[in-house]
Structures are given as structure tokens and as C-alpha cells.
Amino acid sequence: MWDYEPKIIKDEKPLLEAFVPEHVLHREGQKQLLVSALKPALAGRRAVDSFFYGPCGTGKTLLARWLLNELESHSSKVQTVYVNCWKNNTAYTCLSSILKELGVFTTYRQATSELLKQLEVEAREKATVVCLDEVDSLEDKELLYSMSRSGVALLLISNDPYALVDLDLRIKSSLRPEPVEFPAYKTVEIFDILMQRRSYAFVPGTVDDIVLKLVARLSDGDARVALETLRRAALLSEERGEDKVTSTSVKEVFKTTGNLRKSEALKRLNEHEKALYQIIEGKKKISTKRLFEEYTKIVENPATDRTYRNYMNHLVKLGLVKATGELTGRKYELV
Ligand SMILES: Nc1ncnc2c1ncn2[C@@H]1O[C@H](COP(=O)(O)OP(=O)(O)O)[C@@H](O)[C@H]1O
Ligand SMILES: [Mg+2]
């Protein structure tokens, strides 16, 4: 009764986000830049700070994690940490999760300044590289300044190329990371990435090249969309009792996975931004004045005008909302 022999997917793990493949494809240039920046750490010295930027699904997180792992396993003189600032967006949570990963004992009673001192001690003992992914979500950018002074090398990552532009001058002058651009992949590059995963995840002969080509074409340079489309299409074909992944399944699941970028962006909104988004969703176009008025009516503690503008900038940066016109004539609509 419980006989179940998956016909298409041999192992689902290589199709999931957390999987780190043996090789990172088509990122040689970026890899070389980061290797040069990290090399001093091999001699126990401080590495050069870097800044990875580029759209979603271009391998920023993967390359960072992959290279930091490599570096750490290569030399006992280096320790590396990876933190996602979206999940740890205050100075305190960010620092405690860094120290936790470094195996340093902390208590919740310690002030942020004490945690910083502990990090400083760590950086003195061993060359320390800290990767702050989705760094634009960090509430308190001052932390970048204090971390930089504590002696750790920073690897910052953001989808937003301007994430570090608005920083205080003082922070900017002490932190000049090497910029490393991650452009969207070409269709043929996505195809190669899919081929690599096919060999790990599928029963041989169940995914034709033509299917991978279709997925690659639809994904528009985003490897995350590509992998998720392939995974869900395979599950759908299996469920339908087919013995191969079909183009029909791909097209069907893409109706959902095609919006993955948008749903990822929506997850990153705070309560206020969500409310603002919902108001705009109900209208075709809305003026900034009307929007602010409606917003103050529906949320409990509405933000001031200035913070409201920051929220709107964030919605625009995430590619969820489009702004037209200037200043008071400004209008918003969904993208
Ligand atoms: N060059 C590559 N080779 C193999 N897999 C890749 C490559 N680039 C991205 N991926 C895969 O695509 C997905 C999205 O990549 P990720 O690094 O999370 O993108 P980003 O951080 O730029 O949004 C992950 O599952 C990752 O493993
Ligand atoms: Mg990422």
C-alpha cells in the first residue's frame, strides 16, 4: 500500500536553497576578486572589505558562503562568520549571532558595546571575516563603523547597489569596501547551472535538455527562480504519474514561481510598509498626500512624514512600487 518509488526526483536536496554545490559556475571574475581581498587573512592579517551587489538570484549568497567555507577549511589562522541581517536586523541581534557562531559565550544582559569588545578580542586572536548578507536591512548602520574599527574584515551583500550610499560620512571614510558586481545570468549560464543540478537530483533520462532550456529562458537571469521552477515542475509531473518532467508542468508552475521575486520582496516589509503596499494595491495610482492620509487612518502608530518617505523609498527599491512625479506631485502605483 505504501509502495512509493519516485520516478523522477532521485534526491530533492540539491534543488533546495540551502544546498551548496561543489562548484560555483560562471562566477570566475567575482571569485578572483574576493580571493584577492581575502588573501591577507591567510597570513593572519586583516582581509580587505568587499561589497557584493546585484539583482536577486545571481549567486551572491552562494559565492560568499562557498568561499568563506573554503578559506576556513584551508587555514587555521582564519575564522569566518555568515549572518543574514534581514533575520538579525538590530545591532544587538546581529552581534550576538556573530559571537554565537564564533563560539563565544554571551548573555542577554550584555550591552551592545560589551559584545563589540568581545568581537574585538576575537579579531585580535585570529583574522576574522564577517559576512553581512542583506546588509540594507540592518537598522543601525553605525554598527558597520564599529565593526570595522573592531578589526574584523567585512563582506557586505545587497541587492541594492546604493545600499551604502546614504551612510554617514564618518562611516564612509572608514569603510571603503571593494565593489564586486553580480549581473543577472545569461540564459546559457542558467542552463549550465540547471544541468549541474540535474546530475545531482534526477533519475537519468527524466529531464530533457529542451525542458531545461525552457526553464532557463523563463527565469530571466534569476537562478533561484530557475531552480524552484524545475523543482516544482518535477514534483507536479511526478504527481501526475508522468515519467519525465514535461514542458506543460514547467509552464504551469511558472505561473507561481515567476512571482517569486515579488513574494520574497513582500516578506521583507515591516508592518507599516505592508499597510502602504495594501493601500496602493487597492488603487490604480495614488498621490503621496492621499496615501499618507489613508495610511495614518489604518495603522495604530503612524510614522512621521520623514519615516513615511523612507518606507516609500524602500518599497521602490525593492521593485514593488513605482513612483512618478516629484515632491508633492509624486504619485505611486504597483509595478
Ligand atoms: N553560479 C552558480 N552555480 C550554481 N548554483 C548557483 C549559482 N548561482 C546561484 N546558484 C543557486 O541559485 C540560487 C540563488 O542563488 P543565491 O546565491 O541565493 O542568489 P542571491 O544571493 O544573489 O540572491 C541558490 O540556490 C544557489 O545555490
Ligand atoms: Mg542572497
pLDDT for 73 equals: 92
Domain borders along the chain are 28-181, 185-260, 269-334
Indicate if ligand 1 lies below 6 Å from the C-beta of 58: yes
| Half-sphere exposure (Cβ direction) of 148: Cα atoms closer than 13 Å | 18
Helix (H) or strand (E) holding 217: helix 209-219
Question: Which ligand 1 atom sits closest to the C-alpha of 223?
Answer: 12
Question: Which ligand 1 atom sits closest to the C-alpha of 24?
Answer: 3
pLDDT for 169 equals: 77
How does pLDDT run along the chain (335 residues), one tens digit per residue?
A: 777 678 899 999 999 999 999 999 999 999 999 999 999 999 989 999 999 999 999 999 999 999 999 999 999 999 999 999 999 999 999 999 999 999 998 888 899 999 999 999 999 999 999 999 999 999 889 999 999 999 999 999 999 898 888 787 777 777 889 999 999 999 999 999 999 999 999 999 999 999 999 999 999 999 999 999 999 999 999 999 999 999 999 999 999 999 998 998 999 899 999 999 999 998 989 999 999 999 999 999 999 999 999 999 999 988 899 999 988 889 999 98
Specify whether the backbone of 98 is left (phi greater than 0), alpha (psi in -120 to 50) or beta: alpha
pLDDT for 107 equals: 87
Nearest CA residue ID for atom 1, ligand 1: 25
Report the CATH number of the 269-334 domain: 1.10.10.10
Q: What is the CATH topology of the domain spanning 28-181?
A: Rossmann fold (3.40.50)
Indicate if ligand 1 lies below 6 Å from the C-beta of 226: no
Equal CATH topology for 185-260 and 269-334: no
Q: Are 139 and 46 in contact (CB under 8 A)?
A: no
Using the structure block, give the residue that is written with the C-alpha cell 507599516. 272
The pTM of the full predicted model, rounded to 2 decimals, is 0.90
Indicate if ligand 1 lies below 6 Å from the C-beta of 184: no
Residue 73 Cα to ligand 2 midpoint, Å, equals 22
The CATH number of domain 185-260, selected from 1.20.1250.20, 1.25.40.10, 1.10.8.60, 3.40.50.970: 1.10.8.60
Alpha-carbon distance of 33 to 54, in angstroms, equals 15
What is the DSSP track for 47-115?
PPPEEEE-STTSSHHHHHHHHHHHHHHH-TTEEEEEEETTTS-SHHHHHHHHHHHTT----TTS-HHHH
Alpha-carbon distance of 242 to 8, in angstroms, equals 9
Alpha-carbon distance of 292 to 325, in angstroms, equals 16
Q: Are 71 and 38 in contact (CB under 8 A)?
A: yes
Alpha-carbon distance of 80 to 103, in angstroms, equals 12
**How far from 128 is each of 106, 145, 152, 333, CA to CA, in Å?**
18, 16, 5, 44
Alpha-carbon distance of 27 to 59, in angstroms, equals 8
pLDDT for 311 equals: 94
Alpha-carbon distance of 150 to 112, in angstroms, equals 13
Question: Which ligand 1 atom sits closest to the C-alpha of 54?
Answer: 22
pLDDT for 226 equals: 98
What are the backbone angles phi and psi of residue 144, rounded to the nearest 5°? -60, -40
pLDDT for 60 equals: 98
Q: What is the DSSP letter of 327?
A: G
Residue 63 Cα to ligand 2 midpoint, Å, equals 10
Helix (H) or strand (E) holding 251: helix 247-257
Question: Which ligand 1 atom sits closest to the C-alpha of 63?
Answer: 17
Residue 116 Cα to ligand 1 midpoint, Å, equals 32
Q: What angle do CA 189, 194, 196 make, to 5 degrees?
A: 100
Alpha-carbon distance of 59 to 238, in angstroms, equals 29
pLDDT for 244 equals: 97
Indicate if ligand 1 lies below 6 Å from the C-beta of 227: yes
pLDDT for 66 equals: 96
Alpha-carbon distance of 139 to 127, in angstroms, equals 26
